[in-house]
Structure 1
Amino acid sequence: MTTTASAYYDDDYAPFPRRISTGNIIKVDLGKLAWAAYDDAGYLVRWGRASGGKKYCPDIGRGCRTVTGTYTIYRKQGPGCKSSRFPVGRGGAPMPYCMHFKGGYALHGGQVPGYNASHGCIRLHYGDAEWLNQDFVRVGSTRVNIKY
């Protein structure tokens, strides 16, 4: 077993299969509140906890669930990444190590409270977001698959 800040690989505990048929992908299951990274050969290399969009956001007066489907990461930024939209009217919410996959939706570091709590982004533990951003994601080719 390899231990990291918040994620580890252990067949007995990982909520994802050890191997899948496709690689260089991040699987996010917001029903399980977890993510998994698969290498080019389709082997699980790391997984951790996640938090996605909640059912309703009162500050915007509508639902704010995370989009589902498969997308390609098209941009990533470092520890200084910030939201241009939230908080509403001001922007500037920290999104360290953001990795955008559809419009303003991104995977990024943040608090992972054990339930879906965001405006639609996928929050990861800070160390996990840094690892994905710096050591795993290849802009233009790494895909992210999201479901609830």
Structure 2
Amino acid sequence: MKRILLTVVSLLFLTLTPGISSASVVARIDLSQQKMRVIVNGRQSYSWPVSTARRGYRTPVGTYRPKVLRRMHYSSKYHNSPMPHSVFFHGGYAIHGTNAIRRLGRPASHGCVRLHPANARRLYQLIRQHGMRNTRIVIRR
């Protein structure tokens, strides 16, 4: 009986909770491939190399909505490092542009998702255009 009740509750939750399929913009980050695929209105529009957490650090795995957008942010934790076109999605974790473009495609960050500055700007613009409520960030191993 408990199993059936849990299944019904789970189905109701999934039905009533806006999911990935309802998002206009989905940024899918694959940690093993160090790649971000951006889906806009159901069509893959972009595929970009990223840098995520290097050894000793972690990039959180899961599905998130953007919480805060900052055109230019400076890290108070890491020597006032510039983080252009930041999309904060989980605490201090963000997707943002980097000047360390030679490291894109392999782990190099303290946990954030780094992009080429032009790609970070494009993602930032897409999120502003479609809205944070219509955006999902999906990070998988």
Structure-2-length-normalised TM-score: 0.75
Residues 111-140 of structure 1: CA distance to partner in whole angstroms, max 9, x if unpaired? 241310100000000000000001345223
Task: Provide the rounded CA distance (Å) in 1 between the counterparts of 2:133 and 2:67.
Answer: 5
Higher helix share: 2
Gaps of at least 5 residues in structure 1 are: 1-20, 57-63
Native 8 Å contact 1:97 1:108 kept in 2: yes
Runs (4+) off by over 4 Å: none
Residues 29-55 of structure 1: CA distance to partner in whole angstroms, max 9, x if unpaired? 121111011112x11011111010112
Which has the greater radius of gyration? 2
**Structure 1 residue 66 and structure 2 residue 54: aligned?**
no
Native 8 Å contact 1:74 1:140 kept in 2: no
The SS at the match of 1:98 is strand
Q: Percent identity?
A: 31
Residues 68-100 of structure 1: CA distance to partner in whole angstroms, max 9, x if unpaired? 01010011111x21112113xxxx111000000
Question: How do 1:108-123 residues align onto structure 2 when only pairs under 5 Å count?
Answer: 108-110=96-98, 111-112=100-101, 113=103, 114-123=105-114
The SS at the match of 1:120 is coil
Task: Provide the rounded CA distance (Å) in 2 between the counterparts of 1:27 and 1:135.
Answer: 14
Task: Provide the rounded CA distance (Å) in 1 between the counterparts of 2:134 and 2:64.
Answer: 10
Gaps of at least 5 residues in structure 2 are: 1-19
Task: Provide the rounded CA distance (Å) in 2 between the counterparts of 1:33 and 1:96.
Answer: 20
* Paired residue type of 2:112: C
Structure-1-length-normalised TM-score: 0.72
Higher strand share: 2
The Cα RMSD (Å) is: 1.5
Count of matched residue positions in the alignment of Structure 1 and Structure 2: 115
Q: RCO (CA 8 Å, sep 6+): is it higher in 1 or 2?
A: 2
Q: Which residue of 2 aligns with 1:36?
A: 37
